Each structure stands twice: as C-alpha cells, then as structure tokens.
Amino acid sequence: MLCSTLLAQTYTWEDCLSLARENNLALKIAREKVEAKKISLNSLYSGLYPQLGGSLSASTGSSASGDDDLFAATPRNSESARLSVQQQIFDAQTSPKIAQGKSALAAEQLNYTIAEINLRLQLRQEFCTLLQTQQSLDLAKTVSDRRRQQYELVELRYTGGLEHRGSLLTAKANLTKAEQSEKQLQRRLDRNKLQLVQTLGLDTQDLQITENLQNGSGLAPHQSPNIDALLESSPVLQAVAARLDSAKYDSAIAKNAWLPSIYANASLGKNWAQSDNVDSEDSSWSLGGSLSFDLFDGGKKTNAYNNAILQEKIQALDFDANKQKVKLTLIEAWDKLADADDSILAAQEQLKASTERSTIAAEQYANGLISFDNWIIIEDALISAQQQELSTRIDALLQEAGWLNAKGETL
C-alpha cells in the first residue's frame, strides 16, 4: 500500500480506471460534445419534414368621411385565422449536409474515444509515478537504516583507532544525505497523490493504491504485432479520415449550391368581420410551388467551391502524413516495450550480483580485510542497482502503457 493511514480509501488499478471513466472532467466534456453533435444532426433532418405554421389576428376600428364624427362612427371588428404548410421537394444541399452531420457525429465519437485513450495513458503514468515514489520511499528508508548501521560500525572502529576521521565524516554525510532523500520523497509522494486525485475526480486527497500491477517482466508479446492491421483500426487515423470525409461533403455542398431549390406551398384561411350589425365572413385557400436560384452572385459560389476542393486535397495529404506518423508511433512503442522488457532482466541480474558483493564486502570490512573507501564503493553500487532495478520495472509498466496508447486502448 502507498499510505499507512487506515482511514484512506484503497484503490486498485481497475478501480482507478472506473473512477476516471465516471468522474474525469475532460471525459465529461467530451461526452457532452458528442451529445451536442447528436442534437445538431437531428436538426438537419427537420428540413425533410413539412413546415407547418399558423396565424391568428384580431382588430377593431372605425372610419368617418367628411364632417362626420369619427368617434361616433360604428366600429368595425375583424378576426382572421390562417394555416400554412411548406414542403421541400428538392434541395441539392440537404442530403450532403445530413451525410456531413453523420460524419461529424462519428468524428466526435472518435474524439471521445481518443480522449479515453489519452486519459488511460495519463492515469497509468500518474499511477506508476505514485507507485515509483512509494517504492522509492521504502527503498530510501532501507538505505537510511543501512547508512545508519554503516555509520555506527565506522564510529565503533574509529573509537577503537581502526578508522580515520575522514571515513567517519563520510559515513555521517552519507547518513544525512539518505535521511534528506527520505524527506524529499515524502513530499513528492503527497504531490503525486494530489495529481492522481485530481485526475480521478475525487474530493479527498488522502488515498491508497494497491501495488497490483505486473512487475514489468514479460510484458512484451512473444510475437511481433501486425502493424498494418493495428494501423487500420487506429482511432487517431480514423478521426483524420472523418475530417477527410467532412471535407468531401463540403465539396459536394459547394457544388450543389448552383442547383435550384423547389418547395410546395399550401394555405387555408378564414376572415370574420362585423360592421353596422352586419356580420360577414370569407374563406380562402391556396396551393402552389416555388423555385429559387441565383442568377449572379459575383463569383461567391465559385470561390466557395474552389476553396472546398482545395481543403479536400489538404485533408487527403494530412491523412497520408498521419498514416505514416501513426505507423512509426506503433513501431517505436513496440520497440520501447521490448527494450524495457530486456532491460528489466539485466537490472535484476545486476541487483543480484551487487547484493552478493555487498554481503561479502560487509564481512570483509568488519574483519579489516578491505578499506572503508572500497567498502563504500560497493555499498553505493548496491544502492544504485536497487534504484535502477526499480526504475526499469516502472519504465516497463510505462512503456506498456505507451504501447497500449499507440494501439488505441481505452478505459
């Protein structure tokens, strides 16, 4: 565990994934953007349905001629009601706009997927950083205890006249350095906890995580991956392809802008009037159609079409460039994972050798068979090997996260 506080909530790596999926602010924003695109797409379908409208009106007034008293004239009251409907018969831009809206929704859903992918990488990095800090703190405590034992042994030999003052001061300095390193790591641990808490969207700062990740050894698959297959399923590349599709629809919309729009119209109305105690009413209906188009717009549509074609070419080139980039990213991520897996084995062998050398050297120094300087060199090598072994294990976990990110692994 990363914290000895009994009141702190303990989270596994799987718990962190679940919490981030539910609480992370960036992911919430991405979800809302998807919902906004759904609403925008629904609004595009409205043009396919009849547009129904109505109006009601009422008025009163009077009129007089010559010297007649206007205010004594008999008022005239009138009311009217009208219902109208318009149906789109043909609009060349409607179909590509709807197709573009579907493409925009798919692109936004891909953006959400990419947000999940990147959040998973960020979460893994912060989880591993916290894990490394805690294990480094545990190692630092071990080093402090070891340095304290060394100082006590050197002090004992110095008191007995078997060691000089320089060795005593060096042992004391090593102890002080180890204790300071322990304090620094404790402060770093608090910072790392806060960072992870914010990513998880939690209110509390005090948390524990279980060290249930793999130790980093044997993470790389036995066979090289099918890069081309992974390339085709890459969400990043699919998002770029969605932008290319949108540019193609823009070209279609710009091209169809020259075509006319055709609408059918119908209306039904009724009027009522009352004047001099005489009531009258009349009804009306109409049925027709309209065709509208531009005769001359100063080259506006031509420029819009040329620009749309150019943007489509740009997006096509961008797709090719991103395809090469994603392929290289996959290859590099795989190589780094394989390298990290190899490094862990070498670091473990080095730690095993350094531990054995340290055990032998401690006995030799206690018996006066080697000098203080030679002994400390061996002890420093052990500490370095311990730190290196920890770093390679964490690095293997991080490189695995990088590989999963390149493949498009979500939460």
Tally the C-alpha atoms within 13 A of residue 7's C-alpha that lie toward its C-beta.
3
Tell me which DSSP letter residue 46 carries.
G
CA dihedral 208, 212, 217, 222 (to 10 degrees): -130
What confidence category does residue 281 fall into, taking pLDDT thresholds of 50, 70 and 90? Answer: confident
What is the bridge-based pairing of β-strands 207-209 and 9-11?
A: parallel
- Where do the structural domains in the chain lie, given as residue ranges? 9-51+97-259+302-407
pTM, whole model, 2 decimals? Answer: 0.77
Contact predicate 3/137, CB 8 Å: no
The helix/strand/coil state of 24 is coil
Contact predicate 215/324, CB 8 Å: no
- Of 204-208, 287-291, 363-367, 373-377, the least confident: 204-208
Q: What is the pLDDT of residues 58-103, one digit of tens each?
A: 888 766 666 666 566 667 788 899 999 999 888 888 889 999 999 9
Q: What is the pLDDT of residues 127-185, one digit of tens each?
A: 999 999 999 999 999 999 999 999 999 999 899 888 899 999 999 999 999 999 999 99
The helix/strand/coil state of 47 is helix
Q: How many Å apart are CA 156 and CA 153, to the nearest integer?
A: 5
Q: Is 60 exceeded by the pLDDT of residue 5?
A: no
Q: How many Å apart are CA 393 and CA 132, to the nearest integer?
A: 9
Q: Is 60 exceeded by the pLDDT of residue 1?
A: no
Element of type H or E holding 172: helix 165-200
- Of 167-181, 271-285, 379-393, the least confident: 271-285
CA 134 vs CA 130, 191, 202, 347: distances in Å: 6, 12, 20, 20
Cβ neighbors of 405 (< 8 A, separation 6 or more) are 117, 118, 120, 121, 333
Q: What is the pLDDT of residues 283-313, one digit of tens each?
A: 989 999 999 888 888 889 999 999 999 999 9
Element of type H or E holding 64: none
- Supply 400's token pair: 């695995």
Angle formed by the axes of helices 165-200 and 94-159, to 10°? 160
CATH entry 3.40.50.720 includes domain 9-51+97-259+302-407 = no
